[in-house]
Chains A and B, each alone.
Chain A
């Protein structure tokens, strides 16, 4: 079905392209918002990307490659928005929240979220992109490389750096929480 719509759209069928936008739009905003962490920037990136998809569709040779091709254009649009957005801040200051307790069973506490947010927002957009494609879309690392149009080694190194940075942020916070409790004891 998607293949048919893409084929019609690349031949200049605006109606088909409209159907295509509705088909892939939610996935696009899902990806863009997770990379940019800002609704306005994400919407702008999706809009720019989809218009570019329309322009460039005639150059798409292999219809089965549409999804990867779309993701590459979208992620590049996110990079551009990241450069444009003055509020794409890398040094985010978040309000302190209560530290997690040892018996906190929730998978993602508010505190975790804040720490993850702090760590994630420090990442450059290309590292955010590999994290989103790997952890939010569940792509394999070779698929991530393919969708981003980067060598496998580059994808691995970006993923490694990004996950290490995130873990460092979480573990540093955990160490601080232990220190705080020891000081209070």
Chain B
């Protein structure tokens, strides 16, 4: 007869078996890494149980200095709500975000290490892809369309950030050469498809995410395609397609195409960027005969015409164009001058109508740039001018606000030919690309995908495991998804604590009193309604402090869920001076 079995004891015995000593090589690797790694910057008088007024004021000043630098470095500061626009197109066009930033400054000599951003693997695609198109849908999923580099067959699939998994969806007809996927204002996606195997004649199809189907739409005015056209979603919902052979507009409401003005300097493989005022900036590219051009011009949708503007400082080969948060456009790329290659960056200021060169690091350039929600650019495809190629897994962060460069952690895999898409949680999906053996040899397309998770961004959900396991798992770290994160009763013996807040920005400022959580704002310190200080107003704000030790309670200014915000540690002592929110939305402290 079998005895009853003590499963708990068996399990304990089973779990008793395993490694018990951390190998020295791991310790050495950790310490080596630590030596090169900056600690997170946090301002707070740790060793001071009760903070005097003077100390607090000094700490506040230090806070401001840190906020101006360190917290910006780790992704702090108010962030705009991500727009519902797609990420960069293959031409490097990035859709607009809104919040102004400061003027570019001189760059640092060499990049420092990103203090907390991390690349992590996510679900694997069903098909290897490289040089494909990717677009973020309104519901946050990502549609990728493009050929398997080995088979050439067009297919499409969807990435669901909630589960970290991919699923197949209906494919469009044969994708036209260099067609990008353009998100329409109604949530559908427009692509151009080739009508024949040579791709000389094109038509258009739209993808409807609700029915997961592609349908042909309208008769394009100009069916002959040279390749290298751009497709730009305009503010009124229409789409401008422009290239060497002319320009036309697609109206999603009627599903029709109409001709519009040609560029004064017809070109292809240029960049096209929607400006905040609704105009479109076309810059660079190639003229007929594959001649690089530095010519730029603006399209006005109201008149349907193009106007020449100042030329760029230099032509750029395969440039990227990024609309920055201050409304200027950063164009960057390599230029060839005889046998010399030089990477140049310049900014177009629509208000002044001028191009201004940016200092860039000598000999190092990039091929892709993805605008993060904090205003920095995640750049990949790093190249050296004279054969000094960084690993294709390398990525960096460029801050246009202060010109600083930061080394991001390794991408885990090669990023050549990957698509980069900013997700709603501020992480960046890098899908597909070419994997090249480090020792040389044939590069092959990959079905792998990785996520760049900046500090403070919500960690992605775990991908589902095969049955019979549960289909999905909760996120490993609880992060508030809405404000206030919680609301409980007002604690007994709560105390009032008042601070003056001056809001110099053009929008309302929201302030919370909350703990500093592991991934940004934590639980509220007391049951308080968020305080809102109107634009241009200066007023006293009274917080309710809990009866417990107030250490660990911070004032958060304009925080975004899962993000670090501008913050001030509270104290039992009354505050001298006041908090201000500057025109750019950054919080600061002015002492009396």
Contacts and interface: CB of A to CB of B under 8 A. Distances in A.
A55 interface: yes
Given A22-B27, A149-B518, A112 B37 contact: no
Interface string B457-478: 0010011011011100110111
A49 to B, nearest CB: 9
A124 B39 contact: no
Contacts of A174: 2, 5
A5 B42 CA distance: 19
B553 to A, nearest CB: 10
Given A33-B19, A107-B13, A167-B7, A102 B1 contact: yes
Interface size class for chain B? Answer: 35 or more
A56 interface: yes
Interface string B151-192: 000000000000010000000000000000000000000000
Interface residues of A, number: 67
Nearest to A84: B121
B40 interface: yes
Contacts of B40: 55-59
A174 B4 CA distance: 10
B335 to A, nearest CB: 38
Interface string B341-354: 00000000000000
Interface stretch (B28-36, B315-323, B362-370, B582-590): B28-36
B23 interface: yes
Contacts of A150: 474, 478
Contact of B26 (A47, A80, A126): A47
Nearest to B41: A58
Given A26-B22, A76-B477, A21 B9 contact: no
B492 interface: no
A14 B31 contact: yes
A25 B13 contact: no
A117 B18 CA distance: 12
Contact of A61 (B30, B34, B412, B552): B552
A43 B30 contact: no
A170 B7 contact: yes
A58 B116 CA distance: 13
Nearest to B460: A83
A29 B21 CA distance: 7
A154 B255 CA distance: 50
Interface in B359-378: none
B386 interface: no
Given A61-B551, A135-B8, A112 B14 contact: yes
B37 A59 contact: no
A67 B121 CA distance: 27
B2 A116 contact: no
A39 interface: yes
A85 B463 CA distance: 13
Contacts of B476: 75-76, 79, 126
A91 interface: yes
A78 to B, nearest CB: 9
A135 B6 CA distance: 13
A132 interface: yes
Most B-side CB within 10 Å, residue of A50, A112, A174: A50
B20 interface: yes
B369 to A, nearest CB: 26
B7 A57 contact: no
Contact of A43 (B23, B35, B518): B23
Contact of A47 (B17, B30, B39, B463): B30
Interface string B29-72: 11101110111111000100000000000000000000000000
B308 to A, nearest CB: 50
A57 B39 contact: yes
B139 interface: no
Consensus secondary structure, chain A interface: helix
B16 interface: yes
A166 interface: yes
Given A14-B35, A83-B462, A112-B10, A149 B27 contact: no
B516 A61 contact: yes
Contacts of B474: 126, 150, 154
Given A29-B20, A42-B19, A83-B462, A113 B470 contact: no
Consensus secondary structure, chain B interface: loop
B14 A117 contact: yes
Most A-side CB within 10 Å, residue of B33, B465, B468, B476: B476
A154 to B, nearest CB: 7
B30 A136 contact: no
Most A-side CB within 10 Å, residue of B22, B31, B38: B22
Interface string A86-102: 00001100000000001
Interface string A21-42: 1100110111001100101001
B2 A107 contact: no
Nearest to A108: B13
Contact of B39 (A42, A54, A76, A116): A54
A166 B11 contact: yes
Contacts of B5: 170, 174
A163 B27 contact: no
Contacts of A144: none
B22 A46 contact: yes
B477 A55 contact: no
Contacts of B518: 56, 59, 69, 72, 149
B115 interface: yes
A48 to B, nearest CB: 9
Interface of A: 10-12, 14, 17-18, 21-22, 25-26, 28-30, 33-34, 37, 39, 42-43, 46-47, 50-51, 54-59, 61-62, 69, 72, 75-76, 79-80, 83-84, 90-91, 102, 107-108, 112-113, 116-117, 120, 122-126, 131-132, 135-136, 149-150, 154, 163, 166-167, 170, 174, 178
Given A28-B22, A55-B37, 20 more contacts: A14-B34, A17-B31, A26-B21, A47-B33, A51-B30, A54-B34, A57-B40, A58-B39, A58-B40, A58-B42, A59-B42, A80-B120, A90-B465, A91-B466, A102-B3, A107-B13, A116-B10, A124-B465, A136-B15, A170-B5
Interface pairs A-B: 8 shortest CB-CB: A25-B22, A136-B15, A33-B19, A108-B13, A29-B22, A116-B14, A58-B42, A33-B18
16 contacts: A11-B46, A18-B31, A39-B19, A51-B37, A55-B115, A57-B39, A58-B41, A61-B46, A83-B122, A108-B10, A108-B13, A124-B462, A149-B477, A150-B478, A170-B5, A170-B7
